[in-house]
Structure 1
Amino acid sequence: MKVASVQASPVFPMNREATVDKACSLIREAGRNGARLVVLPETFVPMYPNWSIDLSNPTEWAHNLLMLTRNAVEVPGPQVTKLCDAARAAQTCVCIGVNEYVSRFEGMLFNSLLFIDADGTLLGVHRKLTPSNRERCFWARGDGMSLRVYDTTAGRIGGLICYEHLQPLSKYMLMSQGEQIHCTCWPGWPNFANGRSNKGVFDVATRSYAIDGQCFVVASSMYVDPADGERAGLGNASWTFFGGSMIIGPEGDYIAGPVYDEEAILYGELDFDRIVLRKAAADLTGKDNRWDIMRVENNARPYVPFSGSFGERLASEMGLQESPAARRGTPPDALARRLDAIDSELRQLREELGRDPGDTFAP
Structure 2
Amino acid sequence: MKVAVVQYPPVYLDLERTMERAVEIVAEAAAAGAGLVVFPEVWIPGYPTYVWRLKPGAGMGATDELFALSLANSVDLSKDGLAPLRQAAREHGVVLVVGYQERDGAVSGSTLFNSCAIIDADGRLANNHRKLMPTNPERMVWGFGDGSGLNVVETAVGRIGTLICWENYMPLARCGLYAQNIDIYAAPTWDSGDTWLATMQHIAREGGCWVVGCATSLQASDVPDGLPYRDELFGADEDWVNPGDAVVYRPFGGVAAGPMRKEKGLLWAEIDVAAAAASRRKFDVTGHYARPDVFTLNVDRKHKRPVTFD
By the TM > 0.5 criterion, same fold? yes
- Corresponding position: 1:206 with 2:207: no
Provide the C-alpha distance between the structure 2 equivalents of 1:74 and 1:64, rounded to a whole number of angstroms.
18
Out of 104, 125, 129, which is 2:128 matched to?
Answer: 125
Aligned to 1:348: none
Query: CA offset at residue 234 of structure 1?
Result: 4.0
Query: CA offset at residue 226 of structure 1?
Result: 1.7
Out of 110, 113, 123, which is 1:110 matched to?
Answer: 113
- Corresponding position: 1:228 with 2:230: no
CA deviation profile, 1:158-213 (whole Å, cap 9, x unmatched) = 0010000100000000011000001110124xxxxxxxxx4123201111111110
Contact 1:5/1:39 (CA < 8 Å) preserved in 2?
yes
Aligned to 2:64: 62
Query: CA offset at residue 30 of structure 1?
Result: 1.0
More strand, by proportion? 2
Provide the C-alpha distance between the structure 1 equivalents of 2:23 and 2:79, rounded to a whole number of angstroms.
15
Q: Secondary structure of the equivalent of 1:60? A: helix
Aligned to 2:250: 249
Aligned to 1:97: 99
Moved more, 99-108 or 140-149: 99-108
Contact 2:183/2:277 (CA < 8 Å) preserved in 1?
no
Choose 1 or 2 for highest CA Rg. 1
RMSD: 1.7
Provide the C-alpha distance between the structure 1 equivalents of 2:125 and 2:224, rounded to a whole number of angstroms.
35
Q: 2:183 is aligned with what amino acid? A: Q
Query: CA offset at residue 58 of structure 1?
Result: 2.1
Query: CA offset at residue 306 of structure 1?
Result: 4.2
Aligned to 1:7: 7
Provide the C-alpha distance between the structure 2 equivalents of 1:276 and 1:100, rounded to a whole number of angstroms.
33
- Give me the TM-score of the superposition, normalised by structure 1: 0.78
Contact 1:182/1:215 (CA < 8 Å) preserved in 2?
yes
CA deviation profile, 1:32-84 (whole Å, cap 9, x unmatched) = 11111110010011110011222333222211000000000001435311010
Percent sequence identity over aligned pairs: 31
CA deviation profile, 1:286-315 (whole Å, cap 9, x unmatched) = 2222123212111222222345xx37xxxx
Aligned to 2:289: 288
Aligned to 1:137: 140
Q: Secondary structure of the equivalent of 1:79? A: coil
Provide the C-alpha distance between the structure 1 equivalents of 2:213 and 2:43, rounded to a whole number of angstroms.
13
Query: CA offset at residue 233 of structure 1?
Result: 2.3
Question: What is the number of equivalent residue pairs in this alignment?
Answer: 299
Out of 59, 74, 77, which is 2:76 matched to?
Answer: 74
Q: 1:101 is aligned with what amino acid? A: R
Provide the C-alpha distance between the structure 1 equivalents of 2:290 and 2:59, rounded to a whole number of angstroms.
52
Aligned to 1:39: 38
Structure 2 CA distance for partners of 1:302 and 1:79, relative to 1, 3 Å: closer
Provide the C-alpha distance between the structure 1 equivalents of 2:158 and 2:205, rounded to a whole number of angstroms.
18
Q: Secondary structure of the equivalent of 1:262? A: coil
Q: Secondary structure of the equivalent of 2:129? A: strand
Query: CA offset at residue 277 of structure 1?
Result: 4.0
Provide the C-alpha distance between the structure 2 equivalents of 1:234 and 1:213, rounded to a whole number of angstroms.
43
Provide the C-alpha distance between the structure 2 equivalents of 1:283 and 1:146, rounded to a whole number of angstroms.
23
Out of 233, 236, 240, which is 1:237 matched to?
Answer: 233
Query: CA offset at residue 29 of structure 1?
Result: 1.2
Q: Secondary structure of the equivalent of 1:257? A: strand
Aligned to 2:159: 156
Query: CA offset at residue 232 of structure 1?
Result: 5.2
Contact 2:160/2:182 (CA < 8 Å) preserved in 1?
yes
Structure 2 CA distance for partners of 1:288 and 1:229, relative to 1, 3 Å: same
Contact 2:11/2:224 (CA < 8 Å) preserved in 1?
no
Provide the C-alpha distance between the structure 1 equivalents of 2:184 and 2:270, rounded to a whole number of angstroms.
12
Provide the C-alpha distance between the structure 1 equivalents of 2:125 and 2:10, rounded to a whole number of angstroms.
22
Q: Secondary structure of the equivalent of 1:272? A: coil
Contact 1:51/1:234 (CA < 8 Å) preserved in 2?
no
Aligned to 2:177: 174
Query: CA offset at residue 276 of structure 1?
Result: 4.1
More helix, by proportion? 1
Structure 2 CA distance for partners of 1:234 and 1:246, relative to 1, 3 Å: farther
Provide the C-alpha distance between the structure 1 equivalents of 2:221 and 2:286, rounded to a whole number of angstroms.
47
Provide the C-alpha distance between the structure 2 equivalents of 1:225 and 1:50, rounded to a whole number of angstroms.
12
Contact 1:17/1:79 (CA < 8 Å) preserved in 2?
no
Unaligned runs of 5+ in 2: 235-239
Moved more, 50-59 or 22-31: 50-59
Moved more, 61-70 or 78-87: 78-87
Contact 2:11/2:223 (CA < 8 Å) preserved in 1?
no
Provide the C-alpha distance between the structure 2 equivalents of 1:273 and 1:69, rounded to a whole number of angstroms.
41
Contact 1:8/1:263 (CA < 8 Å) preserved in 2?
yes
Q: Secondary structure of the equivalent of 1:298? A: coil
Contact 2:130/2:145 (CA < 8 Å) preserved in 1?
yes
Q: 1:38 is aligned with what amino acid? A: V
Provide the C-alpha distance between the structure 1 equivalents of 2:293 and 2:210, rounded to a whole number of angstroms.
27
Q: Secondary structure of the equivalent of 2:205? A: helix
